[in-house]
Each structure stands twice: as structure tokens, then as C-alpha cells.
Amino acid sequence: MLKAGIVGLPNVGKSTLFNALTSSYQAESANYPFCTIEPNVGIVKVPDSRLDALTQLLISQHGKVEKVTPAVFEFVDIAGLVRGASKGEGLGNQFLATIREVDAIVQVVRCFEDDDITHVEGSVAPSRDIDTIVLELCLADIGSLDKRIDKLKKQSKSGGDKEATLWLDLFQRVYPIIESGQWLNLADYSEDDRALLRQAQLLTAKPLIYAANVAEHELADPMSNPHYKALSERAKAEGVGLVAICAQIEAELTTLPAEDKLDYLQSLGVQESGINGLIRAAYDTLGLWTYFTAGVKEVRAWPFNRGFTAPNCAGIIHTDFEKGFIRAEVTKLNDYLENNGEKGSKEKGLTCLEGKEYLMQDGDVVYFRFNV
């Protein structure tokens, strides 16, 4: 399961956001094979109106659907970071060990002023706070790379260890970038390099999202907040995703009945929870799309990496599906919904038989045929 780690300095709203996130979107344990999880880990549903539409269609046809399973995401509330974490200060060692295990990093950045909530650095300055965390992660990576490069130099010295030479070349190219305190931009590297960087578990190679925690009265127009505006410019220049949230509002929403949540948000001038945007941003940052399987026994959303073929996606359900893949019956979601499902889509010739080379698309409704 994919994981996003929530990080931030103390008193930026990180834990408030995590608690709201998991309280609002905690997946029901009965639907998933993970009933016991640690307190700092939350399994959340990916909001998707398309899944709702598919479910309603099948209910209208069959009177019921036995099970509805959304795509899910794991958020990890990582111990707060302070200066010196790369050297073990505070909970630095715990922080760094945990963050290496996540697929993406959501950095909560304080953009609100409040004299009653002390800022660990003495003032609100989003870019400085980001630089603090980035610097600590860069220093941690440099410490790791120093040891790994020394070892690789010895292994590749004779010229016989081609794999060691490959790793050494990559590490020597990224080292000066990380040493200068910069996050690695994976778009600058080849697919082979990106695969190695993911395997290397470098902290500074992980996809990054900024969650700007703004005050309640700024949520409808976050650009009116000078801190957020400056952060927006930085995020754009870096190619990093940015989501405006108000952690306090998100916490309040968890206490309201579902039917009252939208009214409350609209009274604040917004149409949806910032958490919805954060979940989608994490999903998008990791390059994920969704395909669907639909039947009376279960309607389900399946996350997959962009660029996956039909057999790759079949393997997400079960490895046997990929091994014995024959073909995929694929219908575009809109066609499926507009033509009353599988039967109507097939009658109009809108369901296509796709082979092993087919690249799955976001929103495909699919039935896999396989033989083992």
C-alpha cells in the first residue's frame, strides 16, 4: 500500500491535520485486510465520485451491491522535526527512519498567525521552515551517501562490478545537488535513474507536497495571505504540489454529521474539505490513476501507476491474473454510465478487447480474462 508521510516543525498543525484526516476518512476495518494499525498510521479512502456513480448504477439494476471498496491511501504522522535531526537531535533518528519508508512527503507549513500558539522558530516564515526540514533531510542523505560512495568506489575499482559502477555514477551526479541543500527533481532524470533513486530510498528523492495551514477566514481566498502567496510562488518554481488547508476547520468537520459538513464549508466560502484536495494531490503526485471493476458482488477502485499495461493492472488484483492474462474487456467510464452498464456498452460496440500491450487509462472499467 502506498504511504504518504506527514512532516513538519512543532506547532504547525501537523497532528491536528492527521487526526482530522483519519477521523474523517478512516476506512472501515470490515472492508480491508488491515484491522490493527499503529496509532500514528491512518488508512484513508480516496474520494472519487466516479465510484459512487458506478455503485448507484449497479444498485439501480440489481437492487443492491454487496460491497463497495474505494482506493485507499496510508498516511503516517511522523515525529516532529527540529534543527539537528540529521544528527539525532529531538526525535531525529525516529523521524528519519520512518520517513525513509514512505512514498511521498506532505510537509505541513504554518501560514497562520496566532500569538497563543508558539512557533518553534519564534515567528511565522514558511520558506524558512521548509528550508529547515529540507536541510535536515539533505544532511541525512549526505551522511548516507558518503558511506555508500566509499564502499562503491572500492567495489568498482577493478572495473568488474558493473552494478557498483552504475550506482556510483548516479550517486556522484546527485551528491552535489543534495550537498547544496536542494531537493532532487526526478523529472531531470531518466526512467532508469528514477528507478534506482526510488530503490536507494534517498529522502530528497521522494515526491513532495506542501500543505499550507491557513487561518479560517483565509481559506476561501488563501492568496490574500502573504505567507501563502509567497509559498505559492515557491511551489510553482519548484514544481511542487500545494494545497491550502485549515487544520482547525478540518478537526471541527469531524464532529459534524455528513449532511451538515457541506453547509458548514459553504458558509466559509469553500465547496469541499481541504483534506479532499490533499488526498487527491498525494495520489496525483505519486503518478496514480484508477481503474474500476464493477459487479453486484463488489464495485471497486484500483489504484495503478500511469504507464501500466493491462497485464500489470491485472496483477494488482492477483499475480495469477497477470501470469495467465488473455485479454481485458475495457469500457470507458462515461460510456459505461451513459449506456446502462456492461450490457448496453457491449451492444453499442463500446467495449473493446485489449491485449498485453494496452496501456490502461484513468477511469477504465475493466473485466480481465485469464487462464492459469
Q: Which pLDDT score, from 0 to 100, does residue 121 have?
A: 66
Query: What integer best gives the mean pLDDT of the chain?
Result: 86
Whole-angstrom distance, CA of residue 54 vs CA of residue 328: 19
Model confidence pLDDT, tens digit, residues 223-243 = 999 999 999 999 999 889 999
**Where is pLDDT greater, at 342 or 159?**
342
Whole-angstrom distance, CA of residue 98 vs CA of residue 92: 10
Residue 141 three-state SS = helix
Question: 222: buried, middle or exposed (CB in 10 Å: 19+, 13-18, 0-12)?
Answer: buried
Q: Which pLDDT score, from 0 to 100, does residue 330 have?
A: 98
Q: Which pLDDT score, from 0 to 100, does residue 6 have?
A: 87
Model confidence pLDDT, tens digit, residues 68-116 = 999 988 888 876 555 554 454 444 455 677 778 888 999 999 998 877 7
Q: Which pLDDT score, from 0 to 100, does residue 82 have?
A: 54
Model confidence pLDDT, tens digit, residues 174-223 = 999 999 988 898 888 998 998 899 888 899 999 999 999 999 899 999 99
**Where is pLDDT greater, at 154 or 57?**
57
Beta strands in the chain (DSSP E): 3-7, 41-45, 68-69, 72-77, 104-110, 208-213, 241-245, 288-294, 299-305, 325-332, 351-354, 364-370
Whole-angstrom distance, CA of residue 346 vs CA of residue 352: 8
Q: Which pTM does this prediction carry?
A: 0.82
Whole-angstrom distance, CA of residue 89 vs CA of residue 353: 58
Whole-angstrom distance, CA of residue 277 vs CA of residue 244: 8
Q: Which pLDDT score, from 0 to 100, does residue 137 have?
A: 86
